[in-house]
Amino acid sequence: MSDIVYIGMDLGTSRCSITSSTGVRETVWSYVGYPKDHVAKKKFGGREVIYGKEAVDNRLALNLIRPLAGGSIKSREGRDTEEMKRALKDLIEHAISLAKVPPGKTIYAVIGAPAEASVEGKATLLESAANCIDSVIICSEPFAVAYGLDFLDDTLVIDIGAGTTDLCRVHGTMPTPEDQRTHEIAGDAIDQILAKKIKEKYPETQFSINMIRAFKEKFSSVSRNMDKALVTLTVAGKPKEFDITEEIYEACYSIVNPTIKALQDLIATYDPEFQEKMRNHILIGGGGSQIKSLGLAIEEALKEYGGSKVASIEGPQYAGSNGALKVALDMPEEYWKEFASNAVGESSKS
């Protein structure tokens, strides 16, 4: 039996998924909570840190942190506070613990990062993982998706998460910075746009951003023929039904134009002999791939460029972590030793 356990991790703003070489697959919401006082700590049985859905459900008793929202990993302008760094470290350690790696085993992990993650962001990831992983390699999230599906030739991958939409041009080799684009209209931005539009149309309503996120996940669509989105909101504490169909459509459609712009840029700067092939092999993954008719909207927008074919990835929850695991398993042993000894300096250059 091998003394090495390989782990692929998709460290998302909303959810963190892991897949291990021992057959474990787990997901935890990317939230970390710390009890506000001694009463809260007693409520949680003396635990110092609460994770995932349990943390969100009990957020009134916790200092709740989304360590990947707005930091340097997701945004070049993002800055990591000590509080965020602590929460990121705790989240990664918790995710690794879900793999139930036997004591004494060596852990090699590939962690997915946004396509254009900053040097500072990659360094923060490596620092946060250092206590629980023996060797870490940072990999582009959309490239990991493509690698896991064996789509390595002339493929464009769009990975839509909560914090960023990442695009990667895959052509039979490791992607360079020129092969990748990122924009920040993704799940969280759609939630904020939807909340603003509902408040503008129905100013008397009361709701939380978690309610908005649930509405989006239930009704999300960029089709003019979508089903009606009828939801219950409170007005002065009284429940009342509202139609938010148009608001859902407009909020979801906000992702289309910046994605098309990034796609056009990646196609136009590719070898012209292979541009048509790449246009006709576009894959959408991540949570945002569940927006109904998104592929059709992208195809429609690319008609003037010669047309395209867009497909959504099945099982997006583990597409990133499965791909990262495959990268890990295929990585030569000497790479792991190199990254174990020079992790921050080497990985932050990739």
pLDDT exceeds 80 at position 344 = no
The mean pLDDT of the chain is 90
Residues 218 and 324 grouped into a single domain: no
Residues 136 and 42 grouped into a single domain: yes
pLDDT exceeds 60 at position 346 = no
The answer as to whether 58 is a domain residue is yes
- Which residues span the domain enclosing 191? 187-253
The answer as to whether 207 is a domain residue is yes
Give the pLDDT confidence of 98-146 residue by residue, as tens digits.
999 999 999 999 998 876 666 778 888 888 998 899 999 998 888 999 9
Residues 112 and 44 grouped into a single domain: yes
HSE-CB at 54 with a 13 A cutoff on CA atoms is: 10
Q: How many domains does the chain have?
A: 2
Residues 24 and 138 grouped into a single domain: yes
Residues 80 and 202 grouped into a single domain: no
Identify which has the larger pLDDT, 333 or 193: 193
Residues 67 and 118 grouped into a single domain: yes
Let me know: does 24 contact 160? Beta carbons within 8 Å.
Answer: no
Residues 203 and 121 grouped into a single domain: no
Q: What is the largest CA-CA distance in the chain?
A: 66
Could you tell me the pLDDT band of residue 348, with boundaries at 50, 70 and 90?
very low
**Given this model, what pLDDT does residue 117 score?**
67
* Residue located via tokens 């080497």: 346
Looking at 206, 236, 253, which one is the last position of a domain? Answer: 253
**Given this model, what pLDDT does residue 53 score?**
95
Q: Please, what's the b/e burial string for 71-91 (b: 16 or more CB within 10 A of its CB; e: otherwise)?
A: bbbbbeebebeeebbbbbbbb
**Given this model, what pLDDT does residue 75 score?**
60
pLDDT exceeds 50 at position 349 = no
**Given this model, what pLDDT does residue 116 score?**
64
d(CA 277, CA 338) in angstroms, rounded, equals 36
Identify which has the larger pLDDT, 302 or 71: 302
Could you tell me the pLDDT band of residue 347, with boundaries at 50, 70 and 90?
very low
Give the pLDDT confidence of 17-61 residue by residue, as tens digits.
999 999 999 999 999 999 999 999 999 999 999 999 999 999 999
Looking at 214, 230, 253, which one is the last position of a domain? Answer: 253
d(CA 224, CA 301) in angstroms, rounded, equals 15
pLDDT exceeds 80 at position 229 = yes
Residues 9 and 126 grouped into a single domain: yes
The CATH number linked to 227 is 3.30.420.40
pLDDT exceeds 80 at position 181 = yes
The answer as to whether 85 is a domain residue is yes
- SS3 label, residue 257: helix
The answer as to whether 113 is a domain residue is yes
**Given this model, what pLDDT does residue 69 score?**
82
The answer as to whether 162 is a domain residue is no
**Distance set, CA 40 to CA 33, 50, 59 (Å):** 11, 11, 10
Let me know: does 117 contact 141? Beta carbons within 8 Å.
Answer: no
**Distance set, CA 182 to CA 159, 165, 279, 343, 345 (Å):** 9, 6, 18, 24, 23
pLDDT exceeds 70 at position 1 = no
**3-class secondary structure per residue, 30-71:** CCEEEECCHHHHHHCCCCCCEEHHHHHHCHHHEEEECCCCCC
pLDDT exceeds 70 at position 277 = yes
Looking at 253, 284, 309, which one is the last position of a domain? Answer: 253
Residues 343 and 242 grouped into a single domain: no
**Given this model, what pLDDT does residue 27 score?**
95
Helix, strand, coil percentages (3-state) for the chain, rounded to 5, are 45, 25, 35
The answer as to whether 13 is a domain residue is yes
- What average pLDDT does range 266-291 have in this prediction? 92
Residues 133 and 226 grouped into a single domain: no
The answer as to whether 283 is a domain residue is no
Residues 196 and 110 grouped into a single domain: no
Taking residue 241's Cβ as centre, other Cβ atoms within 10 Å add up to: 8
Give the pLDDT confidence of 76-98 residue by residue, as tens digits.
666 778 899 999 999 999 999 99
The answer as to whether 135 is a domain residue is yes
Residues 100 and 22 grouped into a single domain: yes
Give the pLDDT confidence of 244-261 residue by residue, as tens digits.
999 999 999 999 999 999
Give the pLDDT confidence of 197-224 residue by residue, as tens digits.
999 999 999 999 999 999 999 999 999 9
**The two structure tokens encoding residue 4:** 């090495």
